[in-house]
Amino acid sequence: MYRIPSVLLAVRIDWGWMLKGEKRMRHSRSVKLRSPREKLGGYSILPRLIDKVRLHAEGKLPLEYLGNLLKPGRTLDGWFLAFTGLEAEALRQAISKAQSDDEVLEWVERRAILHTEEEKRQWAKGIAAYRPDAAGLEARKRNYPELAAKVDLSTLGPLEMIDMDEERIPIAAGD
113 and 162 part of one domain: no
Model confidence pLDDT, tens digit, residues 24-37: 334 445 678 999 99
Model confidence pLDDT, tens digit, residues 34-48: 999 999 999 999 999
Whether 12 is in a domain gets the answer no
* Residue range of the domain that includes 136: 132-168
**Residue 4 vs residue 35, higher pLDDT:** 35
Total structural domains within the chain: 2
Q: What is the model's pLDDT at position 174?
A: 55
- pLDDT bracket for residue 121 (50, 70, 90): very high
43 and 73 part of one domain: yes
87 and 48 part of one domain: yes
Whether 9 is in a domain gets the answer no
Q: Which of 25, 33, 95 is nearest to 62 (CA)?
A: 25
**Ramachandran region of residue 146, left (φ > 0), alpha (ψ -120 to 50) or beta?**
alpha
Model confidence pLDDT, tens digit, residues 50-82: 999 999 999 999 988 888 899 998 889 999 999
pTM: 0.80
122 and 151 part of one domain: no
44 and 125 part of one domain: yes
